[in-house]
Amino acid sequence: MEGFYRNAEKAIAIGEMTEDDFLTWPLFRELRQDVEYEERIKKALSKEK
């Protein structure tokens, strides 16, 4: 799971993925069940602002 979060941060940093992608894409449906998922994605997104 840590590998996913590292790669998600990289994808966000280079502008390849948006918050909407992480919160709506069916590909991430199972990952969204992780209790930390939304918090960690939002944290990674806030680093880019």
Instruction: Give pLDDT tens digits for 16-48.
Output: 999 999 999 999 999 999 999 999 999 999 986
Q: What total number of domains does the chain contain?
A: 1
Q: What is d(CA 3, CA 9) in angstroms, rounded to the nearest whole number?
A: 10
3-state DSSP helix/strand/coil % of the chain, to nearest 5: 70, 0, 30
Question: What range does the domain containing 21 cover?
Answer: 2-47
Cβ pair 34, 1 in contact under 8 A:
yes
Where residue 8 falls among pLDDT bands split at 50, 70, 90?
very high
Cβ pair 31, 37 in contact under 8 A:
yes
